C-alpha cells in the first residue's frame, strides 16, 4: 500500500531528463538491459516502468502504485501478459498522473502542473521509441476520480496524434464508455482499435 505523504508540489521533483539519464546507467538493484524504471528508485512518483524491446506496447493507466522492476503488481503482471499475447515483445507502463497512490482516492485534489509537465516529457520519450507507437488505453473508470485527469489525457492525446500513434483497448469498452483496466482481464484478451478523438469528444459535452 502506498499512501502519498503530502502534495507533490512540496517535493523536490527529479526532472524527467535527469531521471532518465540515471535510469540508463547500470544499477545494483535491477538489470537495466531488461527494465526501464524512471526514476530508478522508489519515490512518491513514477514516470515509467516497463521492459525493453524492439516492439513495445505503451500501457496507459491513471497513476502508479507500488510496482518496481522484478516486483510487478497484479495490474502490471496482467499488462505484461496481454502485451506479449498480442505480439509485442515488451510493455511500458505510463500513467496519466505520476503520483504514486495505491488507492486512487488518495491522489491529490489538484493537478501539480510541474509534475504533469515532466510526465509529459516522459510520454514524448516513450513515443520516440517506435516509428509507429502503440498505445493501450487502460484506465478504466478511475479517470473519473479527479477532474484534472481528463485534462491531462487531452494533452497526451494531442502528443500521441502528433507522433502518429495508434490507440487500442483490451476488449470492448465498459458500459461507461471507458476502456477496461487491465487487472481482471484474461491474459489472452485481444486488442481492439480505439477512437481516442471520439472518446474525448463524447466527454466534452
Beta strands across the sheet bearing 48-51:
35-38, 48-51, 90-95, 56-61, 134-137, 166-170, 191-193
Total-model pTM: 0.96
Please state the three-class secondary structure of 104-147 as a single string: HHHCCCCCCHHHHHHHHHHHHHHHCCCCCCEEEECCHHHHHCCH
137 φ, ψ (degrees, to nearest 5): -75, 115
Every domain of the chain and the residues it spans: 11-202
Kindly state the average pLDDT of the residues 107-112. Answer: 97
DSSP code, position 91: E
Cell digits of residue 98: 505520476
Distance, CA of 174 to CA of 172 (rounded, Å) = 7
Contact 64, 39 (CB under 8 A): no
Strands 90-95 and 56-61: parallel
End-to-end alpha-carbon separation of the chain, Å?
36
Q: Per residue in 159-194, pLDDT tens?
A: 999 999 999 999 999 999 999 999 989 999 999 999
Give residue 132's pLDDT.
94
Contact 83, 188 (CB under 8 A): no
Q: DSSP 3-state assignment of 62? A: coil
Q: Per residue in 116-167, pLDDT tens?
A: 999 999 999 999 999 999 999 999 999 999 999 999 999 999 999 999 999 9
Predicted confidence (pLDDT) at residue 205 exceeds the cutoff of 80: no
Amino acid at each position: 500500500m502506498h499512501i502519498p505523504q503530502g502534495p507533490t508540489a512540496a517535493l523536490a521533483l527529479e526532472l524527467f531528463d535527469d531521471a532518465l539519464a540515471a535510469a540508463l546507467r547500470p544499477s545494483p538493484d535491477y538489470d537495466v538491459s531488461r527494465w526501464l524504471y524512471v526514476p530508478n528508485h522508489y519515490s512518491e512518483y513514477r514516470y515509467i516502468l516497463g521492459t525493453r524491446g524492439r516492439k513495445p506496447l505503451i500501457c496507459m493507466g491513471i497513476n502508479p502504485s507500488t510496482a518496481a522492476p522484478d516486483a510487478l503488481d497484479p495490474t502490471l503482471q496482467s499488462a505484461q501478459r496481454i502485451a506479449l499475447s498480442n505480439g509485442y515483445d515488451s510493455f511500458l507502463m505510463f500513467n496519466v498522473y505520476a503520483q504514486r497512490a495505491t488507492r486512487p482516492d488518495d491522489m491529490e485534489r489538484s493537478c501539480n502542473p510541474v509534475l504533469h509537465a515532466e510526465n509529459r516529457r516522459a510520454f514524448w520519450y516513450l513515443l520516440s521509441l517506435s516509428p509507429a507507437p502503440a498505445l493501450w488505453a487502460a484506465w478504466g473508470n478511475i479517470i473519473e476520480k479527479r477532474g484534472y485527469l481528463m485534462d491531462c489525457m487531452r494533452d497526451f492525446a494531442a502528443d500521441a496524434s502528433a507522433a502518429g500513434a495508434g490507440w487500442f483497448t483490451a476488449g470492448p469498452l465498459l458500459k461507461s464508455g471507458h476502456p477496461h483496466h487491465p487487472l481482471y482481464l484474461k491474459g489472452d484478451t485481444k486488442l481492439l482499435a480505439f477512437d481516442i478523438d471520439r472518446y474525448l469528444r463524447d466527454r466534452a459535452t
